[in-house]
Amino acid sequence: MKNVLSIAGSNCSGGAGIQADLKTFSAHGVFGMSVIVSVVAENTSRVIDIQDVTPDMIGKQIDAVFEDIEVDGVKVGMLSTPDCMKAVAAKLQQYKPRNIVIDPVMYAKNGCPLMEPTAVDTLIETIIPLADVLTPNITEAEKIAAMQISTVADMEAAARKIHAMGCKAVVVKGGHHIGNAVDVLFDGDKFCHFETARIDTKNTHGTGCTFSSAITSNLAKGMDVQEAVEQAK
């Protein structure tokens, strides 16, 4: 069995964050582990409060996993502050795990911020270059690429700009955009579009967490990036 680690925030209502990641890992038949970087008092309607774990404790959790267990994939989710990002980046550089999937979580589905606005520069400098796959949604891609996205062509342009920041591949997610749910993958050489009919549901809490965790699981099990993304979708 492959072992997959989630480095993210704890979501007490169970639909997103670490809790969603662990459920997704189990559904894919991999053994899930967790490093909690923030405790989030959140439900499907609102974020009540966030309490960050100290960078020192984040590092010690990562040490505890890597000194004892072989890690086949790492999913990184919510990193709310520059200090948190630097702590995680330092440990990923130290242990150099395979199959790093980074979901640059900036907002909850209800619009509540989960990352300090001033932390985007640190995200670009320290976290994005570590990603084998980066999975921003439209809003996050607009922030990172500093451009407006309103068409699939814009998604491709943003993917190019973000890829140039150092990640190996980027998936710009269009699931919360208009029309069909189109995700755009760019690996530095070619684009792949993954399009499905939109599901008529209001239950979209935690979809980004689940998607990135599914990609990580699939990479850990030996799939290439295109297949991992296709199967995750």
216, 74 contact by CB (below 8 A): yes
Q: Is 166 a catalytic residue?
A: no
Question: C-alpha distances in angstroms, 117 versus 112, 141, 146, 227?
Answer: 12, 14, 13, 33
Q: Pick the catalytic residue: 12, 151, 204, 222?
A: 204
Catalytic residue among 207, 210, 216, 221: 207
Q: Among 17, 209, 210, 221, which one carries the catalytic annotation?
A: 209
Q: Say which residues have a Cβ less than 8 Å from residue 132's Cβ, sequence separation at least 6.
A: 98, 99, 100, 101, 167, 168, 169, 219, 225
DSSP assigned state of 74: E
Q: Say whether 75 sits in a helix, a strand or coil.
A: strand
For residues 6 and 77, is the Cβ–Cβ distance under 8 A? yes
Set 2, 75, 109, 173: catalytic member: 173
173 catalytic? Reply is yes
135, 208, 210, 221: which one is catalytic? 208
* 44 labelled catalytic: no
Is 204 catalytic? The answer is yes
Is 206 a residue of the active site? yes
- Among the options 81, 91, 206, 210, which is catalytic? 206
Active site residue 54: no
**Pair of tokens at residue 72:** 């086949």
Integer Cα distance of 5 and 62 in angstroms = 9
How far the first Cα of the chain sits from its last, in Å, is 22
Q: Active-site residues: which are they?
A: 173, 204, 206-209
